[in-house]
Structure 1
Amino acid sequence: MIESEPNVVAFKPRKPVTHHPRSLMERIYAAGSLSIRADDRATKMAAIMLQALGFLVIEEILADGTPRRLNRGEARQALDRPWRLSKPAFSGTVGVPDGGGAFPA
């Protein structure tokens, strides 16, 4: 009798994709918004920096699925939830069309 080795393939857990702040901002501006997983801390750190500069809006997704906008300084306390990153409205008010006529997500 010949023993054979088991055909087991170990899959590594998927690592979060790290985004450079510039490419992250370009992706958000092209799509309007971008969802970030709760465990993607590298991308969240880049997003916090871009939020501080006024380049994007961060919303945490609550347990019931509703988004809650995070003001500057609140984002570090909400790292355990998924986020949605959106481009800000040029008018300064979320929900008001920007210069291109598109509503921010």
Structure 2
Amino acid sequence: MIEPETNVVAFKPRKAVTHHPKSLMERIYAAGSLSIRADDRATKMAAVMLQALGFLVIEEILADGTPRRFQRGEARQAMDRPWRLSKPAFSGTIGVPDGGGAFPA
């Protein structure tokens, strides 16, 4: 027996989140690190620019869940996996948030 109706509901595609690089950097420095979806190309391009200036550390999340750190210039070829953006180790360990969640004075 063939049913004319289906129970499949189509969801609207989500738009990629676009943030100014300054707010992106503020969010990462406040939290210590930030996960980026594999399809969020706008945020990834902003992160590549910030990494080139030395403000971020970019790690690719591999299929088994382990992170692999990118060197400068390597991130543009690896846009198909999720990333973790971290605060660099200016004052200790990579990814440790600033005290109080703000930039150091």
- What TM-score comes out, normalization by structure 2 length? 0.78
Unmatched 5+ residue regions in structure 2? none
Over residues 4-56 of structure 1, what are the superposed CA-to-partner deviations in whole Å (9 max), with x where a residue is unaligned? 99999864111121111000000000000000000000000000000000000
Q: 1:61, 1:68 within 8 Å by CA — same for their partners in 2?
A: yes
Tell me: CA distance 1:72–1:100, structure 2 relative to 1, closer, same or farther (3 Å): farther
Tell me: CA distance 1:2–1:83, structure 2 relative to 1, closer, same or farther (3 Å): closer
Aligned residues: 105
Deviation at 1:104, TM superposition (A): 15
Tell me: CA distance 1:67–1:3, structure 2 relative to 1, closer, same or farther (3 Å): closer
Runs of 4+ aligned structure 1 residues displaced above 2 Å come to 1-11, 91-105
Over residues 71-105 of structure 1, what are the superposed CA-to-partner deviations in whole Å (9 max), with x where a residue is unaligned? 10100011000000000001587489989999999
| Identity value in percent | 91
